[in-house]
Amino acid sequence: MPEFKVVIADPKTGKAEQVEVKGDNAARLIGHKIGDIIDGSILGKPGLKLRITGGSGKAGEPMLPFVPGGVKKYILLSRPPGFHPREKGERRRKFVRGSVITDEIVQVNAVIVEGV
């Protein structure tokens, strides 16, 4: 069974809360991608609508919105997210994940869109 830590950010207060999701509710998150709106009742927060903003995998690799699917791959990056260059024009090949939530994701980041 999948298990996720979901970090819910509230833009009004500037605070974040971490919620652990297991079992059937965690399985309902699989297949969603970055930018999707989900119901807060999955996370035990009824009345909230949440937008998925990112996440990370087992080895700490970040999910990127422009990498399709649930793949892991090396891509050449020259700007954030995933790489912050130290010099002008610097590029690096970094290990990243796709934009779709799979069972290998550990943390999912979300922001409150509308709520109680």
Taking the C-alpha atoms of residue 36 and residue 115, their distance in angstroms, rounded to an integer, is 16
The pLDDT value given to residue 114: 81
- Number of domains the chain contains: 1
Q: Considering the entire predicted model, what is its pTM?
A: 0.89
Interval 54-86: pLDDT, tens: 999 999 999 999 999 999 999 999 999 889 999
Instruction: Quote the pLDDT of residue 13.
Output: 93
Going by the DSSP 8-state scheme, the letter that residue 99 receives in this structure is S
Q: What residues make up the domain containing 88?
A: 3-114
Q: Which of helix, strand or coil describes residue 37?
A: strand
Which tokens hold the place of 8?
């819910």
Give me the pLDDT at residue 75, please.
Answer: 96
pLDDT, tens digit (0-9, with 9 covering 90-100), for 42-57: 888 898 999 999 999 9
Question: Residue 9: what pLDDT?
Answer: 96
Handedness of CA 46, 30, 96, 34 (dihedral sign): negative
